[in-house]
Amino acid sequence: MRLSSARLEEMSLDLVEPFETSFGVEKRREFLLLRLETREGVEGWGECVAARDPLYSSESNASARDMLARHLLPSVLAAREITPESFAAYARRFRGNEMAKSAVETALIDLASRERGVSVARYLGAPRRRVEVGVSVGIQPSVAALVRRVGRYREDGYGRVKLKVRPGWDADPVRAVRRAHPDLELWVDANQGYPTSAGGRIRTWATANRIAQVEQPFGERAIRAHAELARGAPYRVCLDESIVDDLSLEDALQARAVTSLNVKTGRVGGPIMGRALARRAARSRVPAWVGGMLESGIGRAHNVALAALREMVLPGDISASDRYYREDLITAPFTLGPGSTLEVPTGPGIGVEVSEAALRRHRRRSKLVRAA
């Protein structure tokens, strides 16, 4: 396919409630959308999951915007023929900037799927019609508020809950949730918030409270510390920020530092790499799952399609739209179904319709770039 234009949309969506993690509090999500159009008038959508500030990773909206404007979009617009696969191969020449790359790759996958008349899930070779999901709960004002919040999510139908933790907010809130919900599948996620010396204490409270999974407690380069935490543990040790490509996954597997893999398309540069990582993990009997980054319905649709792969065996962080936003950017938001699942769209491309009215309400600015 050959592109005629690219439109970069700068968006702002208010969260239903503040979402607090070890690296800060988000009340509003400011992010970039990418709309690509072919010469035949077919559109494809991608979402950049970078945030305003470089806290989760070194990327930010500003750096992603610059990477897209200076390097990635001029390249794809100038190409006589572009596919998601050829772009993925080309983009590896640039170091880092995986979130910017993923925005282009997902938009191209949406386009290629629409041209073939198939869903993104089918394009990726993902057979499932529904995917199991969980919910991620941010740090709350009090332990009592956390227990109430988890209770409401269970009433909504979520079967797996992940608690954000950090030093000073771990053993007591986790214990309170476990007492209130003795049969709940409970995960914790620290987003690199702990020093490597905290491994023994984490092991103690995680084991005592029957935590099923401990996610990224240490810095992204602390592979040895994660391997020590995983050794003989009754819980899985999940790596998120540490895994950015096939080489980093291979190192973690060889060190036995990863017993669960969080696949985020933005973190690894797109669904093509995400699929490859999940398949490599499966060969080592390491379960994979799809993580979330507070995406709108556009990014959520891409995530649901990836989660439909056979290799994605654990519930993903792809909650229903109303978990995060009162108004989504798609006309039919994702809703939680039986068995704590979301339906995988089967229509062409991402299979959901973007609401132009919602785009207008939440757009901060827009820039159109045409092919020569």
* In a domain? residue 293: yes
On whether both 154 and 289 belong to a single domain, the answer is yes
On whether both 141 and 239 belong to a single domain, the answer is yes
Cβ neighbours for 73, distance < 8 A, ≥ 6 positions apart: 6, 8, 104, 369
* pTM (two decimals): 0.95
On whether both 141 and 233 belong to a single domain, the answer is yes
On whether both 26 and 164 belong to a single domain, the answer is no
pLDDT reported for residue 159: 96
Alpha carbon distance 135, 200 (integer Å): 27
Alpha carbon distance 331, 236 (integer Å): 38
Alpha carbon distance 19, 24 (integer Å): 8
On whether both 169 and 317 belong to a single domain, the answer is yes
Proportion of the chain above pLDDT 70, given as a percent: 100
* In a domain? residue 47: yes
On whether both 173 and 298 belong to a single domain, the answer is yes
On whether both 142 and 264 belong to a single domain, the answer is yes
Mean pLDDT of 278-300: 97
Active-site hit among 101, 162, 164, 367: 164
On whether both 229 and 295 belong to a single domain, the answer is yes
Alpha carbon distance 225, 39 (integer Å): 51
Residue the block writes with tokens 């269970």: 154
- How do residues 116-165 score in pLDDT, each as one tens digit? 999 999 999 999 999 999 999 999 999 999 999 999 999 999 999 999 99
pLDDT reported for residue 255: 98
305's tokens? 């399609």
pLDDT band at 353 (very low <50, low <70, confident <90, very high): very high
The 3-state secondary structure of the chain reads CCEEEEEEEEEEEEEEEEEEECCEEEEEEEEEEEEEEECCCCEEEEEECCCCCCCCCCCCHHHHHHHHHHHHHHHHHHCCCCCHHHHHHHHCCCCCCHHHHHHHHHHHHHHHHHHHCCEHHHHHCCCCCEEEECEEECCCCCHHHHHHHHHHHHHHCCCEEEEECECCECHHHHHHHHHHCCCCEEEEECCCCCCHHHHHHHHHHHHHCCCCEEECCCCCCCHHHHHHHHCCCCCEEEECCCCCCHHHHHHHHHHCCCCEEEECHHHHCCHHHHHHHHHHHHHCCCCEEECCCCCCHHHHHHHHHHHCCCCECCCECCCCHHHCECCCCECCCCCCECCCEEECCCCCECCCCECHHHHHHHEEEEEEEECC
* In a domain? residue 196: yes
Instruction: Characterize the bridge pairing of strands 130-132 and 341-343.
Output: antiparallel
pLDDT reported for residue 247: 97
Alpha carbon distance 279, 275 (integer Å): 6
* In a domain? residue 111: yes
On whether both 220 and 321 belong to a single domain, the answer is yes
pLDDT at 14 over 90: yes
* In a domain? residue 371: no
pLDDT at 210 over 90: yes
pLDDT at 336 over 90: yes
**Residue 164 designated active-site:** yes
pLDDT band at 307 (very low <50, low <70, confident <90, very high): very high
Q: What is the CATH number of the domain that holds 70?
A: 3.30.390.10
Alpha carbon distance 234, 38 (integer Å): 51
**Residue 101 designated active-site:** no
On whether both 143 and 235 belong to a single domain, the answer is yes
On whether both 206 and 337 belong to a single domain, the answer is yes
pLDDT at 372 over 90: no
Q: What is the CATH number of the domain that holds 224?
A: 3.20.20.120
Q: For the chain, what is the domain count?
A: 2
Active-site hit among 27, 101, 264, 367: 264
pLDDT band at 22 (very low <50, low <70, confident <90, very high): confident
Strand arrangement of the beta sheet that strand 260-263 belongs to: 135-137, 160-164, 185-189, 213-215, 236-239, 260-263, 288-290
pLDDT at 223 over 90: yes
* In a domain? residue 372: no
Q: Report whether 216 contacts 291 (CB < 8 A).
A: no
Query: Residue 147 belongs to what domain range?
Result: 123-343
On whether both 97 and 151 belong to a single domain, the answer is no
pLDDT reported for residue 290: 98
